[in-house]
């Protein structure tokens, strides 16, 4: 069914009134999604649950609070369906933990990643953004950043849903009135495609991404450091002790950051002989991709040897932030009451480099009137 919801901004305290599912034996199975979600637990005056399915039985669920991916059901090597995405099973938990900085599955903007000291200059004018991550601005910074708002939603059909939002000139310190549309598409090749579009009426910076946490084992109650990663990247952007980029580009050769050949993520994640591991408390860095915008070439793969689930990743962006869940600590209660421990999932946030507005030598994130921001990222699932 096509659903359209009115857009509204909100601060972290949303005050949702939630209708709970009847969890007794009388609960009809057809009221639950394949991942066990109850739509009523996402239903308020302004929010809902949206479900995409394909011809192979794959299912992906979303909510328009933060434009979030809530669950991703894919088959494992034995044909059993597994949920490979961390998240919550009701709106109230998204509200609660979102206020604590949890971005499970959320759309991120206006600027994904960190801007040092929350400051940048564009066309000779200086801008100050909210500071929310040490001395820096992270993921838009303010209480109405994209992950903290309700998006207008339009489910086009069983395999496409789009989310729309606007952001006013000066909101969270950014210039320009912007319009943003994000379309999620579930293909019959078991690929989840995310297409981001944006326009502005004044020169601004824009760097959109998604903060999905992947655990391909289907069991988020333990870490998944045995998952095997490849990243087609020869270098990373170095970070300081506050995880802000320094401007230095470091070769991965001979370091724990070399994933050009398949390597278990846990093999070198605690190698504190490397200062970058110390600064990031593990992996929380931007890899400079060798694919150079060619979305037909995978920039990386992730494989779980237990479930056999294999994920290929594609993007036209120049970088990806690989974050290894270092700050998960069991305090976030997820779906089915599971407490997510440290490194129980990984993020692969396609992006321009962090703090690019302050590094003119890097690919530009400037968007001007008459231009269109357009970028696509794909996560494709299979088994090995």
Helix (H) or strand (E) holding 231: strand 228-231
Contact 50, 62 (CB under 8 A): yes
Which residue among 147, 349, 352, 359 is the active-site one?
A: 349
d(CA 222, CA 210): 23
How many helices (H) and strands (E) in the chain? Answer: 2, 26
Asked if 373 contacts 198 with a C-beta cutoff of 8 angstroms, the reply is yes
Catalytic residue (one of 147, 211, 352, 359): 211
Q: Which of 196, 205, 9 is nearest to 111 (CA)?
A: 205
Closest by CA position to 282, among listed 345, 326, 347: 326
Asked if 139 is an active-site residue, the reply is no
Contact by Cβ (8 Å): 113, 64? no
Angle at 105 between CA 265 and CA 283, to 5 degrees: 25
Torsion angle, alpha carbons of 321, 93, 332, 196, to 10: -10
Residues with active-site annotation:
211, 349
């Amino acid at each position: 069914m096509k659903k359209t919801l009115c857009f509204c901004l909100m601060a972290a305290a949303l005050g949702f009134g939630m209708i709970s599912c009847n969890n007794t034996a009388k609960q009809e199975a057809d009221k639950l999604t394949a991942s066990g979600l109850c739509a009523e637990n996402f239903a308020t005056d302004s929010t809902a649950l949206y479900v995409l399915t394909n011809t192979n039985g794959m299912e992906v669920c979303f909510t328009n609070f933060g434009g979030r991916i809530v669950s991703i059901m894919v088959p494992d090597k034995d044909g059993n369906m597994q949920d490979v995405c961390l998240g919550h099973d009701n709106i109230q938990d998204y509200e609660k933990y979102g206020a604590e900085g949890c971005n499970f599955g959320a759309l991120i903007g206006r600027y994904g990643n960190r801007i040092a000291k929350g400051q940048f200059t564009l066309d000779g004018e200086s801008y100050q953004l909210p500071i929310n991550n040490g001395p820096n601005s992270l993921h838009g910074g303010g209480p109405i950043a994209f992950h903290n708002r309700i998006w207008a939603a339009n489910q086009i059909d069983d395999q496409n849903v789009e989310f729309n939002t606007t952001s006013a000139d000066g909101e969270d310190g950014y210039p320009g009135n912007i319009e943003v549309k994000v379309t999620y598409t579930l293909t019959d090749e078991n690929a989840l495609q995310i297409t981001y579009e944006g326009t502005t009426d004044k020169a601004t910076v824009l760097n959109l991404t998604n903060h999905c946490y992947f655990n391909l084992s289907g069991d988020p109650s333990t870490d998944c450091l045995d998952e095997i990663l490849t990243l087609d990247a020869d270098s990373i952007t170095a970070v300081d002790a506050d995880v802000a980029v320094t401007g230095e580009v470091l070769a991965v050769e001979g370091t724990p950051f070399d994933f050009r050949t398949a390597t278990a993520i846990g093999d070198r994640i605690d190698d504190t002989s490397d200062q970058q591991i110390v600064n990031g408390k593990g992996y929380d860095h931007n890899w400079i991709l060798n694919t150079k915008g060619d979305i037909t070439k995978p920039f990386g793969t992730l494989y779980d040897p237990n479930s056999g689930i294999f994920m290929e990743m594609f993007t036209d962006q120049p970088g990806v932030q690989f974050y290894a869940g270092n700050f998960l600590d069991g305090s976030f209660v997820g779906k089915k009451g599971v407490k997510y421990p440290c490194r129980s999932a990984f993020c692969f946030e396609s992006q321009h480099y962090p703090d690019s507005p302050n590094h003119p030598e890097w690919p530009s994130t400037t968007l001007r009137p008459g231009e269109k921001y357009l970028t696509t990222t794909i996560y494709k699932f299979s088994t090995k």
